């Protein structure tokens, strides 16, 4: 190899995505299949329409999710755990405001042996009272500890300010909520929403007709009409607020700026993703160069344009030394103003384009990354064309367009300013 000659440069191309096929079950649910990869591994992800927006009381959805692995009608928790570990697999569950997700990841040869356990975990959890009480106390303790941390406190206040008390994205958890939730309410939540006809399924890796038939056998036959509870998804975007909460003896102040705006279907969403990346979306971004590298006010700072279901938000987040809080705010607003008044130069724009295109390639690296990407897109009723549109927008966006979008959406008058800490 001739090491004195630099490798040939070429433009980053859009990745090739493994096609997704759909199997529809008689109960109305759908299995989305992506077959590929070099290893004999398979994942089955089950996403239930059972997020916290459907709960009548705080913590119900979270506790229901957390107690799934606490034993079933046929197996104790330690028996399930030992079985999964022995076969080199894992089962993981998670939830957010919109969905509850349970995933099985295993070697293909053990799939038939493990899918009955997955069925039991989702549909036949035991919900032991002792574990419920322990989980409530654990969550309460974590909440009290986190509530003393300025970055956790500012995050909660930020979302509450953006979306309000009544919306699922903004509702504020309080200490008294831990005393109000009951085990019966958790069981009722499970009974209402944990049904095979209330889910989407995603299978990826090495599998064939045998595995698909097993999925249909366990998750494709039961049918139940779901009556969804009332939930408020109306967002009344408030005018910009300045909220400074002093916390004595805090060594840092947590700063969050931003506002609620739009989801991934908005015509300006892709442009705003690019603007946010330039401002604070990667290690060489403007905010990082100024606030971290030049001023030394923080270890890290970032900006982000995020899509939620039916809405979204732009935000900037950092923690700085309390003695430089106001200085950091001044520098952040200075960078926002520069985005609005000075055209980006060609070198910086090319750097950002290559960074974003590289991230797109990375998101498609391997069958399981592609499956996760498709699942996330599906939650917004989007498909893989959205990624091609993003890549196309990144390649073709011009400095003048960046300036125009910045002027439209980086206006200081739009921004909520949340500061929690020992403010100097």
Phi then psi for 33, rounded to 5 degrees? -115, 130
Instruction: State yes or no: pLDDT of 232 exceeds 80.
Output: no
**What are the structure tokens assigned to 107, written together?**
């070697």
Per-residue confidence at 1, pLDDT binned at 50, 70, 90?
low
CA distance 193 to 53: 12
Per-residue confidence at 384, pLDDT binned at 50, 70, 90?
very high
Element holding 103 (H helix, E strand): strand 100-107
Quick count: other Cβ atoms within 10 Å of Cβ 239? 8
Residues 6+ positions from 219 with CB-CB distance below 8 Å: 25, 29, 46, 119, 196, 199, 201
In the chain, domain spans: 21-219, 242-421
Q: Give the DSSP letter of residue 19.
A: P
Residue 63: exposure state from Cβ atoms within 10 A (0-12, 13-18, ≥19): buried
- CATH of the domain spanning 21-219: 3.30.830.10
**Mean pLDDT of the residues in the chain:** 93
Q: What is the CA radius of gyration of the chain?
A: 24
Q: What is the mean pLDDT of residues 403-418?
A: 96
Instruction: State yes or no: pLDDT of 55 exceeds 90.
Output: yes
Q: What is the mean pLDDT of residues 386-401?
A: 96
For residue range 127-163, list pLDDT tens digits in order.
999 999 999 999 999 999 999 999 999 999 999 999 9
For residue range 311-345, list pLDDT tens digits in order.
999 999 999 999 999 999 999 999 999 999 999 99
Instruction: Kindly report the pTM of this predicted structure.
Output: 0.92
Within this chain, domains 21-219 and 242-421 share the same CATH topology: yes
Task: State the Cα torsion 304-307-312-317 to the nearest 10°.
Answer: -20
Furthest C-alpha separation in the chain: 71
For residue range 351-365, list pLDDT tens digits in order.
999 999 999 999 999
Phi then psi for 304, rounded to 5 degrees? -155, 140
Q: Is 168 helix (H, G, I), strand (E, B) or coil?
A: coil
- CATH of the domain spanning 242-421: 3.30.830.10
Residue closest to 46 by CA, chosen among 154, 193, 147, 153: 193
CA distance 94 to 66: 8
pLDDT at 225: 75
**What are the structure tokens assigned to 153, written together?**
């406190």
Tokens 């569950």, residue located: 93
Instruction: State yes or no: pLDDT of 228 exceeds 70.
Output: no
pLDDT at 296: 95
């Amino acid at each position: 190899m001739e090491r004195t000659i630099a490798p040939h440069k070429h433009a980053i191309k859009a990745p090739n995505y493994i096609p997704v096929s759909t199997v529809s079950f008689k109960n109305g649910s759908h299995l989305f299949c992506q077959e590929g990869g070099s290893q004999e591994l398979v994942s089955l992800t089950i996403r239930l329409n059972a997020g916290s927006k459907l709960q009548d009381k705080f913590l119900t959805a979270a506790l229901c999710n957390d107690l799934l692995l606490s034993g079933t009608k046929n197996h104790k928790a330690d028996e399930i755990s030992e079985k999964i570990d022995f076969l080199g697999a894992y089962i993981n569950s998670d939830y957010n405001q919109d969905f509850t997700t349970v995933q099985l990841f295993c070697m293909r040869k053990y799939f038939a042996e493990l899918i009955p356990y997955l069925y039991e975990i989702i549909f036949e959890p035991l919900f032991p009272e002792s574990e419920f009480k322990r989980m409530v106390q654990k969550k309460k303790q974590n909440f009290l500890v986190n509530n003393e941390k300025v970055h956790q406190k500012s995050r909660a206040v930020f979302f509450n300010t953006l979306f309000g008390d009544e919306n699922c994205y903004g509702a504020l958890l309080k200490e008294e909520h831990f005393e109000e939730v009951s085990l019966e309410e958790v069981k009722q939540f499970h009974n209402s929403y944990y049904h095979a006809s209330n889910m989407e399924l995603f299978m990826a890796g090495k599998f064939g007709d045998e595995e698909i038939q097993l999925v249909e056998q366990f998750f494709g036959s039961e049918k139940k009409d779901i009556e969804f509870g009332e939930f408020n998804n109306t967002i009344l975007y408030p005018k910009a607020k300045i909220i400074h909460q002093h916390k004595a003896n805090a060594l840092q102040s947590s700063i969050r700026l931003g506002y609620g705006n739009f989801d991934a279907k908005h015509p300006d969403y892709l442009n705003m993703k690019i603007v946010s990346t330039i401002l604070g979306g990667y290690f060489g971004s403007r905010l990082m160069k100024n606030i971290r590298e030049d001023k030394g006010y923080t270890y890290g700072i970032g900006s982000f344009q995020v899509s939620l279901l039916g809405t979204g938000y732009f935000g900037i987040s950092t923690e700085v030394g309390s003695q430089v809080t106001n200085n950091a705010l001044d520098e952040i607003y200075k960078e926002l103003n520069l985005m609005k008044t000075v055209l980006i130069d060609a070198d910086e724009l090319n750097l950002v384009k290559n960074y974003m295109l590289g991230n797109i390639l990375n998101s498609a690296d391997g069958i399981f990354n592609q499956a996760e990407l498709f699942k996330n897109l599906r939650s917004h009723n989007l498909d893989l064309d959205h990624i091609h549109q993003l890549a196309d927008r990144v390649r073709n966006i011009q400095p003048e367009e960046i300036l125009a979008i910045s002027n439209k959406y980086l206006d200081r008058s739009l921004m909520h300013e949340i500061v929690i800490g020992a403010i100097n």
